[in-house]
Amino acid sequence: MSPIRKNINSALEIFNWGFIKMAPANSELLIIHCAWPHAPQSVNKKWRKASASVLEGLYTQWLASQGGNESVPVLWNENATEDVFIFRYALFK
Q: What pLDDT digit, counting tens, does each position of 53-90 carry?
A: 999 999 999 999 888 888 888 999 987 677 899 999 98
Q: Over the stretch 2-21, which tens digit does the pLDDT of each residue have?
A: 665 668 899 899 989 999 99
**Confidence (pLDDT) at 92:** 67
Stated pTM of the model: 0.84
**Residue 85 to residue 80: CA distance in whole angstroms:** 7
Spatial neighbors of 22 by CB under 8 A, at least 6 apart, are: 2, 5, 29, 30, 31, 32
Mean pLDDT of the residues in the chain: 86
